[in-house]
């Protein structure tokens, strides 16, 4: 649209809207890295990514609803019983109404944990459950919206009365902003809502739902009245971040609510990140005594993460896998930064998206049947991409010369080989996860946890290299040799149950473990007796030793030989050694490092640098890079050769930044302005006297002021009281 068509002449000032023309809808496939100009392959990769992420997203939502189901049930039951038998008794006089013995506000101290980024989703689930099962009157209060008591009351009234319960189908719309945000108004609104609910229940025929109209979203009163709520549903106030609230505001609000507890069935939910002691730290004793507090402890985020990894990543049904460095990076961000499962899921989503976006081999990252069909449709250019994979080149080098020639030149032979390699990868994943979990069952209870306590720790070790090469693996098997019979039988039972849930690749191991379990069960008390062995034929040697002369040296040798001799193992110890040797052979067969597999690039994502740059960014380094070398981010077609100097073509903030790097601790604003004008205009021939007498251009002066303000906002300079026309520098270097 041209600029002339946007001009509008008007006598008075006004705001005019120019709607843009509808352009071509965006297609995600257009942003995928092209696969040698093959649009079909790009379309398949994009659709596969969307299908996989939809599946992962459904599993994550299911886990999120199940992880705190018990604590949510207890919380809802507490709120239901908080005002059991409550009645407003509006028909009775004030003197004849029953008085409540306890004047304490029921309060649920919901300890959500230190994973603050996840609190919003948790409290949203709580709010939805309360509105579905208990009451429609739920208000969620945040500290940033409640700086004073007036703002808190305004936010509370707008949330409660904005649900349109106070509106009937015959009334006009109510402007909540014009209603005074006071407790008497809230009391009158609640009583009016109770009356309407009673009148609605007395009507036998349910009212017909009105047709959709422009006001249909604001008239939901009939829908809310149809729900099977209690006659006097409680008013639930949810304080999501209690520790961040102003203590004085919170104290005054609790005192007001305690005075209206007879007229309003109020219930508090305190969202706490640390511990219940935060309530007593914020509220004095005379205020906290007005609360009837009950603690509710949510599941730690580490438990949620372990379930997420076990049911989403450690399964053969999900073809996408994280490499060791990417998996460890996401774990480190979780354990050492925020404990946020939501951020971990976002990192997983980015890894999945980048894998399909940047890796053309991800075309085969799907289920086995679909992968075989896609292999048959690969063209020569796509097969060349598989030939260029590092793991496939290693595989070709280990083949005979005739096989090498066929793999590199014959496309039909390569397709057949790709199908065989895909089958090996899928069979490997089917056996890898149950065997790895069996190893975790064996070693997770050992002292000091040589192979980690959680499955995620063991999985990270398996991704890094062959697990049997770790020092912890040898220590774990040394400790397993000391396991008691009953404990070993319990461990083998758990391993058998885990292996019985898997497919055919590990059924042989399950049968063998069942045999060992039966042999352990048949051992009696005689199992701790030494194994009977044939006596050694050393009678002649003993008789000859009796005639030999005993010297000090010979006695020393006999003592050393006796020390070297070990006692004879018992039957139980021999059976334990046999069991551990077999388990060791199973682990060496099925727990091979995935990085050693051919064409592991199809399923495993290892671009840790991209994940670190996008997920765990360094804003200070990015800001300094942009100010020192703006052409790095501007991506100009003709960048200058000298990026270290100060050029007039640079943005104003970059020029001001480079000039301030040449100054000391205090910067004279006038000298800084003159240097800025000199660089921008390029007038370096004028002497200082003529430059000082010349009045600065207002436009250049405004540009300089804006650049200085941006540097102050970024934290490079600040105002100082030492000199009025100076600013203080906050960065190192050149001081």
> Is pLDDT larger for residue 164 or for residue 181?
181
Cα(481)–Cα(485) distance, rounded to whole angstroms? 10
Percent of the chain with pLDDT over 90: 48
Short-list 161, 146, 126, 305, CA closest to 241: 146
Domains of the chain, each with CATH number or no CATH = 69-87+101-201+218-298 (3.40.50.300), 304-531+571-605 (no CATH), 619-729 (no CATH)
Categorize the per-residue pLDDT at 287 as very low, low, confident or very high, splitting at 50, 70 and 90: very high
Look at residue 163 in the predicted model and tell me its pLDDT: 47
> Which distant-in-sequence residues (6+ apart) come within 8 Å of 105 by Cβ?
254, 257, 258, 261, 266, 267, 268, 290, 291, 292
pLDDT of 715 strictly over 70: yes
Look at residue 88 in the predicted model and tell me its pLDDT: 59
Query: Coil, strand or helix: which one is 239?
Result: strand
Q: List, for residues 458-474, the tens digit of each pLDDT value.
A: 999 999 999 999 999 99
Strands (E), 217-264: 235-239
pLDDT of 628 strictly over 50: yes
pLDDT of 296 strictly over 90: yes
Short-list 608, 310, 279, 251, CA closest to 458: 310
The packing angle between helices 411-443 and 455-464, to 10°, is: 140
Strands (E), 57-100: none
Look at residue 501 in the predicted model and tell me its pLDDT: 75
Q: Is 454 exposed, middle or buried (0-12, 13-18, 19+ CB in 10 A)?
A: middle
The number of beta carbons lying within 10 Å of the beta carbon of residue 114 is 14
- List 321's β-bridge partners, or say none: 604
Categorize the per-residue pLDDT at 564 as very low, low, confident or very high, splitting at 50, 70 and 90: low
Q: Give whichever of 9-18, 84-93, 686-695 has the largest mean pLDDT.
A: 84-93
Read off the pLDDT of each residue in 570-584 and give the average, rounded to a whole number: 91
Region of 379 on the Ramachandran plot (φ > 0 left; ψ -120 to 50 alpha; else beta): beta
Q: List, for residues 259-285, the tens digit of each pLDDT value.
A: 988 888 999 999 999 999 999 999 999
Cα(204)–Cα(356) distance, rounded to whole angstroms? 58
Q: What distance, in Å, lies between the first and last C-alpha atoms of the chain?
A: 52
Categorize the per-residue pLDDT at 228 as very low, low, confident or very high, splitting at 50, 70 and 90: low
Look at residue 89 in the predicted model and tell me its pLDDT: 54
Categorize the per-residue pLDDT at 492 as very low, low, confident or very high, splitting at 50, 70 and 90: very high
Look at residue 221 in the predicted model and tell me its pLDDT: 43
Ranking 9-18, 133-142, 406-415 by mean pLDDT, the lowest is 9-18
Percent of the chain with pLDDT over 70: 79
Short-list 366, 81, 414, CA closest to 230: 81
Look at residue 687 in the predicted model and tell me its pLDDT: 47
State residue 571 phi and psi, 5-degree precision: -65, -40
What angle (nearest 5°) sits at the alpha carbon of residue 403, between those of residues 401 and 409?
A: 100
Mean pLDDT rounded to a whole number for the chain: 82
pLDDT of 598 strictly over 80: yes
Look at residue 117 in the predicted model and tell me its pLDDT: 87
User: 103 with 261: CB under 8 angstroms?
Assistant: yes
Categorize the per-residue pLDDT at 421 as very low, low, confident or very high, splitting at 50, 70 and 90: very high
Q: List, for residues 86-128, the tens digit of each pLDDT value.
A: 665 554 455 544 455 457 899 999 999 888 888 988 899 899 9
Q: List, for residues 644-682, the tens digit of each pLDDT value.
A: 778 888 899 999 999 998 888 889 999 999 999 999 888
Burial 174-198 (b: 16+ CB within 10 A, else e): eebeebebebeebeebbeebbebbe
Q: Please report which helix (H) or strand (E) contains residue 139, including its range.
A: strand 138-141
Long-range contacts of residues 66-75, Cβ cutoff 8 Å, at least 24 apart: 67/299, 67/303, 67/304, 67/307, 68/122, 68/125, 68/298, 68/299, 71/296, 71/297, 71/298, 71/299, 72/125, 72/126, 72/129, 74/296, 75/108, 75/110, 75/126, 75/269, 75/296
Categorize the per-residue pLDDT at 19 as very low, low, confident or very high, splitting at 50, 70 and 90: low
Read off the pLDDT of each residue in 331-338 and give the average, rounded to a whole number: 91
User: 134 with 79: CB under 8 angstroms?
Assistant: yes
> Which distant-in-sequence residues (6+ apart) come within 8 Å of 47 by Cβ?
none
Cα(426)–Cα(418) distance, rounded to whole angstroms? 12
CA distances from 435 to 181, 218, 312, 337, 580 (A): 63, 57, 17, 32, 14
């Amino acid at each position: 649209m041209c600029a002339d068509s946007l001009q509008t002449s008007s006598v008075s000032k006004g705001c005019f809207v120019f709607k843009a023309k509808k352009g071509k809808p965006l297609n995600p496939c257009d942003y995928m890295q092209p696969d040698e100009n093959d649009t079909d392959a790009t379309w398949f990769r994009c659709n596969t990514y969307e299908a996989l992420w939809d599946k992962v997203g459904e599993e994550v939502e299911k886990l999120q609803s199940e992880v705190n189901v018990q604590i949510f049930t207890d919380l809802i039951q507490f709120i239901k019983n908080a005002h059991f038998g409550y009645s407003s008794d509006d028909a009775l006089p004030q003197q004849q109404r029953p008085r409540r013995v306890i004047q304490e506000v029921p309060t649920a101290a919901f300890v959500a944990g230190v994973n603050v980024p996840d609190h919003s989703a948790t409290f949203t689930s709580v709010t939805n459950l309360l509105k579905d099962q208990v009451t429609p009157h739920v208000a969620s209060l945040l500290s940033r919206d409640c700086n004073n008591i007036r703002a808190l009351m305004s936010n509370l009234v707008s949330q409660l009365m904005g649900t349109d319960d106070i509106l009937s189908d015959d009334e006009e719309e109510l402007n909540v902003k014009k209603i005074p945000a006071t407790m008497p108004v809230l009391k009158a609104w609640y009583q009016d809502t109770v009356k309407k609910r009673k009148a609605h229940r007395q009507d036998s025929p349910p009212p017909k739902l009105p047709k959709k109209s422009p006001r249909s979203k604001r008239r939901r009163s009939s829908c809310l009245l149809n729900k099977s709520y209690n006659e006097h549903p409680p008013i639930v106030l949810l304080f999501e971040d209690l520790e961040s609230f102003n203590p004085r505001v919170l104290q005054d609000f609790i005192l007001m609510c305690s005075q209206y507890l007879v007229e309003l069935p109020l219930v508090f939910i305190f969202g706490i990140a640390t511990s219940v002691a935060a309530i007593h730290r914020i509220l004095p004793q005379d205020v906290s005594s007005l609360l009837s507090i009950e603690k509710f402890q949510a599941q730690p985020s580490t438990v949620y993460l372990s379930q997420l990894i076990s049911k989403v990543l450690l399964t053969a049904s999900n073809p996408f896998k994280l490499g060791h460095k990417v998996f460890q990076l996401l774990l480190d961000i979780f354990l050492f930064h925020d404990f946020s499962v939501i951020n971990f899921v976002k990192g997983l989503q980015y890894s999945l998206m980048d894998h399909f976006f940047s890796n053309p081999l991800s075309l085969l990252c799907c289920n086995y049947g679909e992968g075989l069909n896609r292999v048959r449709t690969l063209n020569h250019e796509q097969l060349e991409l598989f030939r260029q994979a590092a793991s496939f080149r290693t595989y070709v080098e280990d083949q005979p010369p005739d096989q090498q020639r066929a793999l590199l030149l014959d496309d039909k032979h390569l397709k057949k080989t790709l199908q065989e390699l895909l089958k090996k990868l899928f069979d490997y994943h089917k056996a890898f996860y149950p065997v790895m979990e069996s190893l975790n069952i064996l070693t997770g209870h050992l002292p000091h946890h040589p192979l980690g306590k959680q499955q995620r720790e063991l999985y990270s070790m398996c991704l890094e290299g062959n697990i049997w090469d770790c020092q912890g693996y040898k220590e774990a098997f040394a400790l397993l040799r000391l396991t008691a019979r009953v404990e070993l039988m319990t461990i083998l039972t758990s391993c058998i149950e885990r292996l019985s849930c898997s497919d055919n690749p590990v059924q042989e191991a399950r049968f063998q473990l069942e045999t060992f379990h039966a042999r352990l069960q048949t051992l009696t008390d005689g199992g701790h007796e030494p194994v009977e062995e044939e006596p050694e034929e050393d009678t002649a040697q003993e008789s000859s030793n009796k005639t030999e002369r005993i010297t000090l040296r010979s006695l020393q040798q006999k003592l050393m030989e006796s020390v070297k001799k070990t006692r004879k193992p018992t039957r139980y110890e021999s059976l334990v050694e046999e069991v551990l040797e077999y388990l060791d052979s199973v682990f060496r067969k099925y727990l091979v490092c995935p990085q050693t597999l051919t064409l592991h690039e199809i399923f495993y994502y290892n671009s840790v640098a991209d994940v670190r740059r996008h997920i765990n960014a360094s804003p200070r380094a990015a800001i300094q890079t942009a100010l020192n070398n703006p052409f790095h981010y501007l991506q100009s077609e003709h960048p200058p050769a000298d990026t270290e100097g100060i050029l007039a073509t640079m943005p104003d903030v970059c020029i001001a930044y480079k000039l301030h790097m040449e100054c000391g601790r205090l910067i004279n604003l006038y000298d800084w302005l003159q240097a800025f004008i000199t660089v921008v205009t390029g007038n370096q021939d004028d002497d200082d006297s003529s430059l000082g007498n010349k009045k600065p251009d207002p436009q250049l002066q405004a540009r300089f002021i804006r650049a200085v303000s941006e540097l102050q906002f970024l934290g490079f300079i600040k105002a100082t009281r030492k000199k009025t026309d100076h600013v203080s520098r906050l960065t190192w270097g050149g001081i």
